[in-house]
Amino acid sequence: MSEVVEGKAWVKDFLEKRKIEFKFVEHESVKKPVDSARVRNVALKQIAKALVYMVDGKPLLAILPGDRQIDESKLLKVVDAKRIRFAEPAEVKQHTGCQVGLVPPLIPEIRKVVDRSLLENKEVSFNAGIATAGIIIDLNDLLRIFDHSSKADISSGKTMIGLECHVQLNTKSKLFCGCKTQEKEPNSACCPICLGHPGSKPVLNATALDYAMKVALALNCEINQEFFFSRKTYFYPDMSKNFQITQYEIPIGEKGHIILSNGKKVRITRVHLEEDPAALVHSEGMGSSNFCLVDYNRSGIPLVEIVTDPDMQTPEEARDFLDQLTTILSYLKVYSPTTGVLKADCNASVYGNNRVEVKNVSGKKGVEKALTFEIARQKHVLLEGKKIEMETRAFDEAKGTTRSTRSKETEADYGYIFEPDLTAFRLTKSEIEEMKNKLPELHGAKSKRFMEEFGLDQYNANVLSANFALGNIFEHVAKDIEPKIAANFLTRELMAVVNRSELDLDSLELDPEEISSMLSLRSSGKITEKVAKDAIIVYLTKGVKPTKFIESQGLVMDLGKGEIEKAVEKVMAENKAAVVDLKRGKQKSLNFLVGQVMRLTRAKANPKDVQNIILKKIKGE
Ligand SMILES: [Zn+2]
């Protein structure tokens, strides 16, 4: 047989052991030079997917020939999508030298990737050009393999995850100077203080302190009655004064917690306030740029850092933690999801081994992805009998992988000293108590209120209150229409679109008035359920306002009763046979007559009204 088989003896061995029927195949284009004209005619769905998946520490290569219809989303779901991803065309090119869909993969090249992956303990997967060679295997068998391996590998053993979240507070000015926080033009919002010129003195932004206190209180922290700021010394171009003003010895708050949606309690170690360093801009991307630009607009932006205990066990829990956190932040109105930055250093360890820190991961999805990769990587290192080094790694968002950057500094390396230019802050117990009382209603309380005030069930109340914007829309809409109907529509139809299209509700800035008007039309029967659903899809995905969509498409069924009656009379006069059939109890005739009226009125009549009028007339005659 060809090298496909020889090179994949372990695949053969693996599949035979599991009594899985398979066949190695190769396409003629493996042996013959590529016929470019033919290749150009290949349809997109005929492009094969090659998956390299780690099974029992070894990569299993499965090339799914392009002529098999495979439901990719279903496949990804069953094979534990978080461990598999289809590679971007650029990655395929990088690994195989192949242009996806244009050139067939060179099989030895694929093998090279597999071997290298084994060497590096990486999980990789990629599109492999058009169907050329691979294994034919029953889809169910394939899923069985993946399912089995996923359970054996991922679910056993304890994983510990802790997060250090950095959240940008949405103050108008910076933490220690009056520079604006939202300037776009690079280096247009800086002054001697945020650039660290000699002799410049920081002055604490009272709003930032107020926001950070609110965060600490909302996260159930104990507030320290006295706290101060410290200098964390390090050299890097993003920190022009060579130290960052932060809090170290005594933070604003300690010993808080967040409850995850599965009921688990994640302890908050501390909450403190610090300044953001400048932004380093690599115009061609990290590692490919010949130079690096520094934008000091970000230098001195207030950040609140929220550090957790290592209480989370899965990347999903970490994601849920961030969801809960951003919900609280949006209720407090201290963070803007559209312009604010949310970053996290993710600490992960498996089976009590060394802890690895993945630094500076952006966004909730990024955190989940980075942790998924990192945990799998650590498990494979252990499977190989190697040791996990305590280190700092960086997350490559495009590839979904992490790479080693430097050994982790210890706290001693930073040489913390008390910041002499800022005074210590003292609060009395009653001042803290007063702040606590001033906290706005948070999502737990709002959920309870929705149940009491509007008679919602717990599920709807929880979903609606979990997002500040959604809760607002609901309260607005519930003024105009029956609250339960509004709640059902929002939690089911609207959230289905949000989840399916992976939208961020907070950044959509939906107009509650629009949704209310649309749902009022639905409640009064002037639009169908389908139109309501379509309108919301178009609104969320394309930004077209529902009322405009419905009006421009002529979807309102606003024909008056008199006009409907006229149309019914006309249709009944013209279809006497159907009327006779209906009188004899033939249900199909009713549908037919309704259809005729709808056609005559160009769907401007409500079909239910039409039906009632027809039935009335039949009885009356
Ligand atoms: Zn400044």
pLDDT score of 406:
66
Chunked mean pLDDT (size 10), the chain, 621 residues: 38 66 50 32 36 38 39 45 44 44 35 39 34 46 45 52 95 95 91 92 94 94 92 89 91 92 90 94 77 93 96 92 91 85 92 87 91 84 78 84 73 81 89 90 89 91 88 91 90 86 80 90 82 88 88 76 84 88 84 86 79 84 55
Whole-number Å distance, alpha carbon 409 to ligand 1 midpoint, is 29
pLDDT score of 318:
95
User: Residue 510's closest CA among 535, 488, 529?
Assistant: 535
Whole-number Å distance, alpha carbon 213 to ligand 1 midpoint, is 23
pLDDT score of 411:
65
Cα dihedral sign, 98-103-108-110: positive
pLDDT score of 11:
56
pLDDT score of 87:
44
Whole-number Å distance, alpha carbon 187 to ligand 1 midpoint, is 10
Whole-number Å distance, alpha carbon 276 to ligand 1 midpoint, is 12
Residue 250, amino acid: I
Spatial contact of 451 and 458, defined as CB atoms under 8 Å apart: yes
pLDDT score of 372:
87
Whole-number Å distance, alpha carbon 179 to ligand 1 midpoint, is 4
Whole-number Å distance, alpha carbon 192 to ligand 1 midpoint, is 6
556/603 Cα distance (integer angstroms):
8
What is the model's pTM? 0.63
- Could you tell me the residue ranges of all domains in the chain? 10-156, 441-552, 561-619
Whole-number Å distance, alpha carbon 425 to ligand 1 midpoint, is 22
Q: What number does CATH give the domain 10-156?
A: 3.90.960.10
Spatial contact of 546 and 535, defined as CB atoms under 8 Å apart: yes
Whole-number Å distance, alpha carbon 283 to ligand 1 midpoint, is 25
Q: What's the topology of domain 561-619?
A: Arc Repressor Mutant, subunit A (1.10.10)
Whole-number Å distance, alpha carbon 216 to ligand 1 midpoint, is 26
CA dihedral 477, 479, 485, 491 (to 10 degrees): 40
Count of alpha carbons within 13 Å of 471, Cβ hemisphere only? 22
Whole-number Å distance, alpha carbon 193 to ligand 1 midpoint, is 5
> Two tokens at 247?
């809090």
pLDDT score of 204:
94
